[in-house]
Structure 1
Amino acid sequence: MREASFVKQNKDKWLEFESILKNKTSIDPDVLSDLYIEITDHLSYAKTFYKNSNTERYLNQLASQAHQKIYKTKKEPKNRLISFFKTEFPLLFYQHHRELLVAFLTFSFFVLVGAFSAANEGDFVRSFLGDGYVNMTLDNIEKGDPMAVYKEQGEFNMFLGITLNNIKVALYAFGYGILFGVGTLYIMMQNGIMLGSFQYFFYDQGLLWESARTIWIHGTIEISVIIIAGCAGLVMGNGMLFTGTYPRLESFKRGVINGLKILMSTIPFFILAGFLEGFVTRHTEMPDWLAILIILSSLSLILFYYVYYPIKLNRQLRNTFSDLNSDIVSTQPQTNRT
């Protein structure tokens, strides 16, 4: 269908919907929700056949206004939290895999920088990790228990302290995104260098495997969600830099909201990482196969929820829209097709 025909066919409905949105009287949320679904269907069609057109921009703005109106007036269902983690967040996060990749590559690069620096500068580890920690660890190595640091506190106190500290780091990674994303990259750099020098320190002591099998029991999830928090900061920074079709203030608001949603998704994982560090990591006597199983299970969980599942969910959504577009086209008179 030609764009002019598409606009002519639906113009009255769009204007009516726009009028409803501007109406200050009370609106039935369910009716508004049904209209919103229809508008988003039209928007999907316009994105497919009239990409970057005025029609697409108009419908995008209209859908955005409707979304805000719905979520201000519609009562939250009892299973809102479940819906957020099961559907809303994965659909959102798929759009930000690029920021996730940037955060991951930045972090990984500075892990290598940290290891390289530790290998070539004798005092680098002490300057970064502190004399107190290095001396304590060397004492534990001499006593034959290099991972004793994970046994010094009680399980619950360690769990609580580590969880709160990790959440604080995540808040820094997100909050510094206000500096156009540069602050977030700095947090990624700082933590990457720390991890790289930390692991090289144990490698230099001939304890790379002993440290890795112990530390990554909790570190797999902990480091992963710190990187994801970095992704949240970059999303906020990008909202300030790259506005797309939105006004700058609106783009910034969307960046903040989306970044906060990403940050919120990490809280259960930080709790899980804190639990593992407080209650499981201390058991350095566990067999290698069990440690490896926990590490691989943790990695699989992160990759599934933050990478595979969002892709799968969005493919399903795209297929649904594709079927809808096909139905729309097939119902139009032959004379209206290009």
Structure 2
Amino acid sequence: MSDTPPLQLKSQKFRDTREKEWRALARQIDRAEKGQIGSFTTEELLELPVLYRATVSSLSMAQSISLDRNLITYLQALCGRAYVYMYGAHARPLQVLKDFFLRRLPQSFRALGIEMWLSFACFFLGAVGGWLMCAFDPSWYNALVGHSAQGRDTSATAEDLRKTLGGAEKEQLGTFSVYLMSNNTRVTLMAFAVGVIGGVPTAFVLLYNGMMLGAMMWLFASKGLGFDFAAWLSIHGTTEMLAIIIGGGAGFHLARRLMFPGHLTRKAALSTAGRTAGTVMLGAMLMLIIAGVIEGVGRQTITDMGLRFAFGGVMLVWWLTYYGLFGRDRKGAGDGQNP
């Protein structure tokens, strides 16, 4: 006969039947304590309170039948750690904002790396295509830009076009500024929203708007004002066009996760993708607001070509540095985002 005490057998059997739940809860709490709670899937978030209640039940039972002290101590510590994340005080609004802008937003942007490059390629190819189409057949300009030209059409003289780039005609500039702001906001939201019906509509939105930009660049270049237009555009364009590309990248991310959900159901994959894409879209909307302020003030007060290029370049370097470097783990272990 075995000499193992009955209490030890009871303790071992109790552990064998419930230890899987304890370990699962411990793994989730470990991730939460490392600041990775934002990377939890919907299933993991729903599972957390279930695991917590099961562990509390195990602790209560272990205490009632007087199991070994080490096991009870372990369960008490695990329940205490879980309680902090289940029922602890919520983070202060300032801390939430700090965490969002310094960690979650740039991490989410980097998680969409492939989609962002695809969005950039569509927009860039559209711009090149628009330029070439107008260069070979100027009638394409009206087809691409049409009524939105605001005086910038093929019949305008170089002097007429130059006036639209300076500080004169302030009323006209203000009207065009409002138009650009509303149009680019609509384009960004559309490129994101149509991602749920596949990547083709998102690609079309980016290509078409890139073609409009390329057509307008051709017009000014054909009048000898190519660099003037590029300088005028760079002040707000480096911020505004990057926001559009981000909107397209978010749309492509939704499409990819919907078409290739991996081990998840399509609904779960779309939910996971929606959190990451929604995060970067908040950043894109903020960028459009900043671009609107720049359009309304900086573009009309900074008239020197060199200063315009410098301002636009500084803004571009800032955004690339922010999205590329902020929020990285010190040990380079990754950003804790779902692919």
The answer, yes or no, to whether TM exceeds 0.5 is: yes
* 1:292 counterpart residue number: 309
* 1:78 counterpart residue number: 93
* 1:306 counterpart residue number: 323
- Once the two structures are superposed, residues 67-122 of structure 1 have per-residue CA deviations (whole angstroms, 9 ceiling, x without a partner) of 79999977353221221111122222222111111111111111111111111112
Shift of 1:217: 0.9
What is the distance in 1 between the residues matched to 2:325 and 2:18? 41
Q: Structure 1 residues 209 and 201, CA, compared in 2 at 3 Å: closer, same or farther?
A: same
**Which amino acid in structure 2 is aligned with residue 205 of structure 1?**
K
2:143 counterpart of 1:127? yes
Conserved in 2, the CA contact under 8 Å of 1:176 and 1:184? Answer: yes
2:104 counterpart of 1:98? no
User: In structure 1, the residue corresponding to 2:301 is in which secondary structure?
Assistant: coil
What is the distance in 2 between the residues matched to 1:11 and 1:273? 59
* 1:108 counterpart residue number: 124
Q: Structure 1 residues 292 and 190, CA, compared in 2 at 3 Å: closer, same or farther?
A: same
Paired residue total: 281
Alignment of 1:254-269 (within 5 A): 254-269=272-287
2:264 counterpart of 1:272? no
* 2:208 counterpart residue number: 190
Q: Structure 1 residues 208 and 156, CA, compared in 2 at 3 Å: closer, same or farther?
A: closer
Gaps in structure 1 of 5+ consecutive residues: 1-8, 21-33, 45-58, 322-338
Q: Structure 1 residues 11 and 87, CA, compared in 2 at 3 Å: closer, same or farther?
A: farther
In terms of mean alpha carbon deviation, does 252-261 or 186-195 score higher? Answer: 252-261
Q: Structure 1 residues 17 and 153, CA, compared in 2 at 3 Å: closer, same or farther?
A: farther
Q: Point out the structure with max Rg over C-alpha.
A: 2
Pick from 33, 36, 41: which aligns with 2:28? Answer: 36
**Which amino acid in structure 1 is aligned with residue 146 of structure 2?**
G
**Which amino acid in structure 2 is aligned with residue 307 of structure 1?**
G
Q: Percent identity?
A: 21
What is the distance in 2 between the residues matched to 1:320 and 1:103? 22
User: In structure 2, the residue corresponding to 1:82 is in which secondary structure?
Assistant: helix
**Which amino acid in structure 2 is aligned with residue 294 of structure 1?**
F
- Once the two structures are superposed, residues 155-213 of structure 1 have per-residue CA deviations (whole angstroms, 9 ceiling, x without a partner) of 88776664444322211111010111221111111111111111111111111011111
Q: Structure 1 residues 136 and 319, CA, compared in 2 at 3 Å: closer, same or farther?
A: closer
What is the distance in 1 between the residues matched to 2:145 and 2:245? 20
What is the distance in 2 between the residues matched to 1:84 and 1:308? 14
Q: Structure 1 residues 172 and 131, CA, compared in 2 at 3 Å: closer, same or farther?
A: closer
Conserved in 1, the CA contact under 8 Å of 2:240 and 2:291? Answer: yes
Gaps in structure 2 of 5+ consecutive residues: 1-14, 51-81
What is the distance in 1 between the residues matched to 2:221 and 2:103? 42
What TM-score, normalized by structure 2, do the two folds share? 0.70
What is the distance in 2 between the residues matched to 1:320 and 1:254? 16
Conserved in 2, the CA contact under 8 Å of 1:117 and 1:124? Answer: yes
User: In structure 2, the residue corresponding to 1:316 is in which secondary structure?
Assistant: coil
Alignment of 1:217-256 (within 5 A): 217-256=235-274
Q: Structure 1 residues 127 and 152, CA, compared in 2 at 3 Å: closer, same or farther?
A: farther
Alignment of 1:204-223 (within 5 A): 204-223=222-241
User: In structure 1, the residue corresponding to 2:163 is in which secondary structure?
Assistant: coil
Conserved in 2, the CA contact under 8 Å of 1:239 and 1:253? Answer: no
What TM-score, normalized by structure 1, do the two folds share? 0.71
